[in-house]
Amino acid sequence: MTYGPVITEARRAAELAARTSYGRLIASLASRSRDIVVAEDALSDAFAAALATWPERGVPSSPEAWLLTAARRNLNHRARHENVQLGAVAELLSRIDEGAEVTDWAAVDERLKLLFVCAHPAIDENIRTPLMLQTVLGLDAQRIGSAFLVAPSTMGQRLVRAKTKIKQAALRFEVPDLREAPTRLDDVLRAVYVAYGSAWDDHAGGRGLAEEALYLGRTLVSLLPQEPEARGLLALMLYCESRREARRDASGRFVPLPEQDPRRWSTAMIIEAEALLTAASQAGRFGRFQCEAAIQSVHAQRGVTGHTEHAAICLLYELLLNHTPSVGVAVGRAAALIEAGALEDGARALDALDPESVLLYQPYWVVRARLAERRGDQELMRSTLERALGLTEDAAARRYLSDRLV
């Protein structure tokens, strides 16, 4: 019992190190062997050793360095055990590393390599985001599975398969030359955005994952300060996050953006997002995330000016559509035109879409209903809204739409 506070302190230190350095430690351990599974095992053994020894000997001055050294030793033991030759190489490498390691991994952050390998084009697109969440943030398959609506065991298998491929097919642990391969950065950014988006849909359970996505976004900005799109992505997520509280009213009902009370938006997050977007724009390189953030920035202005510059939003959507065409952006642009009062342009934009591609796309039918409403066609509005309702999964959004049908 007398050890209680000491154990608590040791546990807290280990947990803090786990939370703040997990990805850095895994990246550091796996970058040479490319073996994430083995790195995870070595690190979890190191955490166990920390919990066993820190209460007795005290928490080391640099818990991260302690864990890294312990985990490296585990790796070496394992390598020696499995293959005498490999063990010798590992031993040699670890000697080269000694002394240099602590300053070394602070300077060159291996997490970036890990992020790029997780979003490698040779990895199935659907597993990239979960893989990042697990290897860089240390989330378990249970939690990731529930966020992506996949059974934890299935998610666990998929993660293992991806990690096995990284190891066996020998994917490169390296930050690619982004001038030569700009799409590689897009893959990383998109995977982070997917993590945020999966949290966005799920208001109750998703908050934690949104925070993790923001953390990844911040990590990317600090690791790639020269990339405006990294800043753009973080700004975009912060604008969305700033409105989290305002998206539900007191009784938990969904509140769409135009009806939200700006006083319930987080000013701190908006200010941070504005600063990021301004810094990003100084690079003079247009990008999808900066543009989407700019659209959100215009919406955020309502908190100051009291009205929404619809014309600016339409223009930004046009730029976005030219740069990154997709059904989602096209529908967003149509919605912006309708809100701006350009009903005919909005209708034309909707008509131009391939009917097949929007058949089951809920936002399309919501925008169609809005168009009918603005044109004063109550009957068409109701039938279209019913159609949208049939495609809505989120309970709060369903309630919002069905309330409007009454």
Q: Write out the residues near other proteins by the rule CB under 8 A.
A: 122, 168-172, 174, 176
- Provide the minimum distance between the beta carbon of 58 and other proteins in the complex, in angstroms, as a whole number: 42
Q: To the nearest whole angstrom, how small is the minimum distance from the Cβ of residue 157 to other proteins?
A: 21
| Calpha distance 50→44 (Å, rounded) | 10
Picking from 143, 130, 281, the residue whose alpha carbon sits closest to that of residue 216 is 130
Q: Which of 176/197 has CB closer to other proteins? A: 176
* Closer to other proteins by Cβ: residue 107 or 170: 170
- Cα–Cα distance for residue pair 9/342, rounded to 1 Å: 62
Is the CB of 106 or the CB of 169 nearer to other proteins?
169
> Residue 121 CB, nearest distance to other proteins (Å)?
8
Nearer to other proteins, 19 or 172 (CB): 172
191-216 exposure pattern, b = at least 16 Cβ within 10 A, e = fewer: bbbbbbbbbbeebeebeebbebbbbb
Residues sharing a CB contact under 8 Å with residue 11, sequence separation 6 or more, in sequence order: 51
Nearer to other proteins, 85 or 326 (CB): 85
CA 168/CA 159 separation, integer angstroms: 14
Q: How far is the CB of 329 from other proteins (least distance, A)?
A: 29
Closer residue to other proteins (CB): 121 or 325? 121
| Nearer to other proteins among residue 18 and residue 123 (C-beta) | 123
Q: What is the nearest approach in angstroms of other proteins to the Cβ of residue 122? A: 6
Quote the CA–CA distance of 214 and 290 in Å, as a whole number. Answer: 16
- Diameter of the chain by CA atoms? 79
Q: How far apart (Å, rounded) are the C-alpha atoms in residues 13 and 24?
A: 16
**Hey, which residues does 254 pair with through a beta bridge?**
248
Q: How far is the CB of 180 from other proteins (least distance, A)?
A: 11
Query: If you compute the radius of gyration of the chain from its CA atoms, what whole number of angstroms results?
Result: 25
Report in angstroms how near the CB of residue 117 gets to other proteins at its nearest.
Answer: 10
Angle between helices 228-242 and 207-223 (to 10 degrees): 150
Q: In whole angstroms, how close is the CB of 34 to other proteins at the nearest point? A: 8
C-alpha span between 367 and 238 (Å, rounded): 25
Q: Which is nearer to other proteins, 48 or 122 (CB)?
A: 122
**HSE value, Cβ hemisphere, 13 Å, CA-based, for 197:** 9
